Amino acid sequence: MAQKAPRGLLSRLGRYLFIIVRDLLIIVLAALVVSFLIKTFLIRSFSIPTSSMEETLQVDDRVIVSQLTPGVFEVNHGDVVVFVDPGGWLPSGLATEDDPLTTLFNWIGPRLGLPDESGDEHLIKRVIGLPGDTVVCCDALGALSVNGVPLEEPYLSLPDGVEDVSGSSFSVVVPDDALWVMGDNRYNSADSRANLSKPGGGFVPVDHVVGRAIVVSWPAENWAWLGNFPSAFQGIPDNPIRG
């Protein structure tokens, strides 16, 4: 006849199991809290849906976005930024307002490490004009200028044989608290130029900026830091708004 385990031994085993389960729950909870705080205040991940930023970003690349810009750090010329649609930039039906439950899930999910399902309301472009800048295109050599300084833009992807950095001419002054943004794939990007007739005049309010894209995180073969090419914007004089 099998001998029953001493009651004291079973009690000790129960306590050990309780401690193990308790510690695991604490670790998981702490990890979720840390992840939540990081993704709420520091970084988010977005997927690239279009070719408007090629060759810098490819379709389906995933980028890590620092939410410290703007805020702790200022937006600079050349930054690649993710921003909320200022209104009417995206095709009809993409920037829709979700029901409250879906909105809550889309807010919580990315902060727990899940893919951002609200990306249809976001765009990603490069900052060309800061508040107060005068942005003009194109000069006799086909270059774009900011505050009278022609830019050499090494990040551009242009069609073969094309020298003008924009297929359309424009001259704009960027309002206070706004940005002028353009895609690196200039002839396949519905950026500020394509939205001049919209209510916002093609400008992106700074408070619509989610953050600065700092690295391509996936796929592994496309891993790269995303620079803002300070040499391309060197020598641009300050304007009255920025001082």
Largest CA distance in the chain: 101
* 209 contacts 81 by C-beta, under 8 angstroms: yes
Rounded Cα distance between 200 and 9, Å, is 73
Rounded Cα distance between 115 and 106, Å, is 9
Rounded Cα distance between 167 and 222, Å, is 28
52 has catalytic annotation: yes
Rounded Cα distance between 35 and 29, Å, is 10
* 110 contacts 45 by C-beta, under 8 angstroms: yes
118 has catalytic annotation: no
Catalytic residue from among 118, 125, 166, 189? 125
Tokens of 149: 């300084």
3-state secondary structure 75-124: CCCCCEEEEECCCCCCCCCCCCCCCHHHHHHHHHHHHCCCCCCCHHHEEE
Catalytic residue from among 52, 118, 166, 192? 52
Residues forming the active site = 52, 125
